[in-house]
Structures are given as structure tokens and as C-alpha cells.
């Protein structure tokens, strides 16, 4: 049974780009070969539906301007196996210079330097799904289509920058959850061992040991601070792309523009 995927990407700099090319390889650093023929591309599109994503395959894309015979840079590689078991996986493909919507497991590892000994792929994947839900809720009414005149270089740059910030926010939310999960594991271990001393803490191959509880509790505190720090960073990044103006709605009954909020009673009539 084929697995459907949605590749999401930033808008290419070359406004004459009219084809999208998909490439695959069996390893991240292996030799990539084009999958199928060139795909017709209308400038401004930011997604491509693919119906046969491979669970052990790496993918890249690039754009092509057939009139000027110019190619864009290749995107960063993305691994199909992280999503291929889902009903409709979501692959975020970015170029080396532009942003991309949503992060991958490898993005989280590269950002944090956490490896598979520190935290499993399954835990990162679960955190990604939760973080993605938070991002979707918070960005659902931002209206990124306000930048849809992509032939304006300013709009294109703002759109791509917005996607980059969304991706960074998701990574930070994930890391906040991952470190919170590590702390919860330590608490449960203490409960099961009937002790309140964190005298032997191990994360992956790194061990923090002490005869007393001080070293363990210091490690607990540091991880708690990291969890809060990453979550705060994510919230700040999303706040940066909130519209700076108030949306105005139109009411049929009075035929006038009116704001979507009401003045507090204490201020009503003063302005």
C-alpha cells in the first residue's frame, strides 16, 4: 500500500521557476537520483503531494527554470521513514537558504546535539506531533496568505522567514517537552525506588553520580531550566510573527466596519 506525503517548501528566489524535481537516495549522504519526470510548478505553490513515500528513503527537491535553463540549489535531505507509517505523513523540505514549515527528528538533534542514546526517536517523534499541534493552533489565524504576491521580493522573503521561525518554534517546543519528559522519568524512578535522592542520574551514556543527593538535584534543576527556556523561546518566536494590526470584521446588520473586540466597560465612551 502506497503512503501519501505532502512536501512543504519555501518559495524559490527565481520567479521563473516552472518545474519541481524530486530526488531520492537510500542514505542521507548517498547518490540521489531523480524520481520520475519534471513536475509542472506554478510559482507561489508551497506544497507537493507525493503518493509513494518510502519508509527507508531520503528525499531532496530542487526547482528548474526551463526558459533560462537555471536550477535552484538542492534542498536539505529529509527521511521518509519518520512519517511513512502515518496515514498522511507530512514532510517539510527546506532549501539551504530559505525556511521550511515544520521540523524533523534530525532537525531537533542537530539543533540540540541530543543523540539517540540521550533520547529515542520515538520520544522525539511524539513530541514533534504535540509541538506541531501547538504551532497549528497558534498560527491558524495568522493569515500567511497576506504574503501571497510572491513576485514581490519583500513578500517572498517575509513568507520564507515566517516559515523558518515556525520551524524554529516547533523545535524549541519539542525540546521543552523532551527535557520535561526526562525530569518526569527521574521523579518516577525516585518513587519506584522509594527514595527522594537522585544519587545516580543517567541520560544516554552520560552519568552523574554522587553519594548524596546534591549532584542529582543540581542536574534535575538544570534540566528543568532547559525545559522552561526552550518553551519560552518557542512562545517568543511565534509572537514575533503575530500580525501587528487588528483584524476588522464587517457586520451586515449595521453596514459598518467594526473591531472584533469590545471595549471594557471601564473604558467605554472615553475614546
pLDDT for residue 86: 45
pLDDT for residue 9: 83
- CA 100, distance to chain mean position in Å, is 8
In this structure, whether the domain defined by 1-100 belongs to CATH 2.60.40 is answered with yes
Tens of pLDDT along the chain (271 residues) come to 457 778 888 888 888 999 999 999 999 899 999 999 999 999 888 888 888 888 789 999 999 999 999 998 888 888 877 654 444 445 565 444 444 457 778 788 888 888 888 898 888 888 888 888 888 887 776 666 666 666 677 777 777 778 788 888 999 999 999 999 988 887 787 777 765 555 555 555 555 555 444 545 677 788 888 999 999 999 999 888 776 555 554 445 545 555 544 445 554 455 4
Query: Cell numbers 551514556 label which residue?
Result: 205
pLDDT for residue 91: 57
Alpha-carbon gap, residue 243 to 139, rounded angstroms? 10
pLDDT for residue 234: 93
Q: Which sequence spans correspond to the domains of the chain?
A: 1-100, 102-243
**Quick one: three-class SS letters along the chain?**
CCCCEEEECCCCCCCCCCEEEEEEECCCCCCCEECCCCEECCCCCCEEEECCCCCCCEEEEEEEECCCCEECCCECCEEHHHCCCCCCCEEECCECCCCCCCCCHHHHHHHHCCCCCCCCHHHHHHHHHHHHHHHHHHHCCCCHHHHCCCCCHHHHHHHHHHHHHHHHHHHHHHHHHHHHHHHHHHHHHHHHCCCCCCCEEEECCEEEECCCCHHHHHHHHHHHHHHHHHHHHHHHHHHHCCCCCCCEEEECCCCEEEECCCCCCCCCCCC
pLDDT for residue 97: 45
pLDDT for residue 23: 95
**5 strand-pairing partners:** 50
Amino acid at each position: 500500500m502506497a503512503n501519501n506525503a505532502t512536501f512543504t517548501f519555501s518559495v524559490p528566489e527565481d520567479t521563473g521557476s516552472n518545474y519541481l524535481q524530486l530526488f531520492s537516495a537510500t542514505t542521507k549522504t548517498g547518490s540521489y537520483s531523480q524520481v520520475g519526470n519534471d513536475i509542472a510548478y506554478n510559482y507561489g505553490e508551497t506544497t507537493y503531494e507525493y503518493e509513494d513515500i518510502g519508509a527507508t528513503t531520503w528525499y531532496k527537491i530542487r526547482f528548474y527554470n526551463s526558459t533560462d535553463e537555471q536550477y535552484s540549489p538542492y534542498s536539505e535531505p529529509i527521511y521518509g521513514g519518520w512519517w511513512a507509517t502515518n496515514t498522511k505523513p507530512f514532510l517539510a523540505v527546506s532549501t539551504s537558504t530559505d525556511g521550511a514549515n515544520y521540523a524533523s527528528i534530525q532537525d531537533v538533534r542537530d539543533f540540540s546535539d541530543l543523540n539517540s542514546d540521550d533520547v529515542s526517536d520515538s520520544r522525539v517523534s511524539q513530541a514533534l506531533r504535540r509541538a506541531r499541534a501547538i504551532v497549528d493552533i497558534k498560527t491558524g489565524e495568522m493569515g500567511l496568505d497576506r504574503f501571497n504576491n510572491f513576485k514581490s521580493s519583500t513578500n517572498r522573503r517575509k513568507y520564507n522567514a515566517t516559515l523558518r521561525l515556525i520551524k524554529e518554534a516547533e523545535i524549541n517546543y519539542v525540546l521543552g517537552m523532551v527535557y520535561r519528559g526526562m525530569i518526569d522519568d527521574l521523579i518516577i524512578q525516585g518513587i519506584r525506588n522509594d527514595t527522594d535522592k537522585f544519587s545516580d542520574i543517567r541520560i544516554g551514556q552520560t552519568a552523574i553520580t554522587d553519594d548524596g543527593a546534591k549532584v542529582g538535584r543540581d542536574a534535575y534543576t538544570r534540566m528543568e531550566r532547559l525545559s522552561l527556556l526552550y518553551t519560552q523561546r518557542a512562545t517568543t518566536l511565534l509572537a514575533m510573527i503575530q500580525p501587528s494590526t487588528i483584524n476588522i470584521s464587517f457586520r451586515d446588520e449595521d453596514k459598518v466596519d467594526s473591531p472584533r473586540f469590545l471595549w471594557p466597560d471601564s473604558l467605554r465612551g472615553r475614546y
